[in-house]
């Protein structure tokens, strides 16, 4: 009974963490749309009242402007100056938010972006057997900080400190490990073939 409640809780929290960025995106898009609408209303009012595919011209122009702003922002984000600015913000502010770096890496992995900061997937022994873990950092020559994610919700888990002898390296990607964790281990037969 306790394990069922734990799975329900983990699934519920996983749903919240999955929906939160989507809801934030919708809210930001809506706010941006209303700001752009204030700019487009005076321009469109001077044009004849036309509907395009059932939408007023004002709405179409607003959406086109938002798409163009996102595209220009994407181009600017690729510049060296913007990358340095984002890195400074992440290093000095966002890195203080608990779990920010881990969640950012997971989101990039889920969305298919290449990240030079993909966390190394390892296996560590626990009371229940070997578990997937992500190597966070090396403390000294013999000790490491690792994150052991929960299933089916890899957003929660435990931070543990393990010795080098207790780390088993496996050659799988962060994306593959996350997918296996979310599916409660389904696919591990093929994923871990000749690796354990």
Please write the tens of the pLDDT for every residue from 52-69: 666 666 677 777 777 887
Query: Distances in Å between the alpha carbon of 81 and those of 25, 78, 84, 115, 119?
Result: 25, 9, 5, 19, 26
CA distance linking residue 138 with residue 12, whole number of Å: 33
Q: In this model, does residue 161 exceed pLDDT 90?
A: yes
Over range 73-87, report the average pLDDT.
79
pLDDT of the residue at 20 = 66
- Percentage of residues in the chain having pLDDT higher than 90: 11
pLDDT of the residue at 162 = 92
Q: In this model, does residue 112 exceed pLDDT 60?
A: no
Q: In this model, does residue 164 exceed pLDDT 80?
A: yes
pTM: 0.48
CA distance linking residue 126 with residue 142, whole number of Å: 18
3-state SS class at 76? helix
The two structure tokens encoding residue 67:
């798409």
As beta bridge partners, residue 158 has 148
């Amino acid at each position: 009974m306790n394990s069922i409640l734990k799975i329900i809780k983990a699934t519920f929290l996983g749903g919240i963490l999955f929906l939160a960025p989507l809801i934030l995106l919708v809210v930001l898009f809506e706010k941006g749309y209303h700001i752009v609408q204030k700019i487009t209303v005076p321009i469109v009012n001077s044009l004849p009242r036309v509907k395009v595919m059932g939408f007023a011209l004002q709405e179409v122009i607003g959406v086109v402007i938002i798409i163009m702003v996102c595209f220009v922002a994407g181009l600017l984000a690729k510049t060296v100056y913007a990358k340095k600015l984002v890195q400074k913000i992440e290093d000095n502010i966002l890195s203080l938010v608990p779990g920010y770096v881990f969640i950012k890496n997971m989101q990039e992995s889920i969305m298919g972006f290449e990240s030079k900061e993909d966390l190394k997937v390892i296996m560590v022994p626990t009371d229940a057997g070997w578990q997937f873990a992500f190597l966070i950092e090396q403390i000294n020559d013999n000790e490491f900080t690792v994150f052991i994610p929960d299933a089916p919700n890899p957003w929660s888990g435990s931070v543990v400190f393990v010795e080098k002898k207790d780390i088993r390296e496996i050659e799988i990607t962060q994306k593959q490990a996350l997918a296996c964790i979310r599916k409660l281990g389904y696919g591990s037969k093929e994923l871990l073939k000749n690796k354990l």
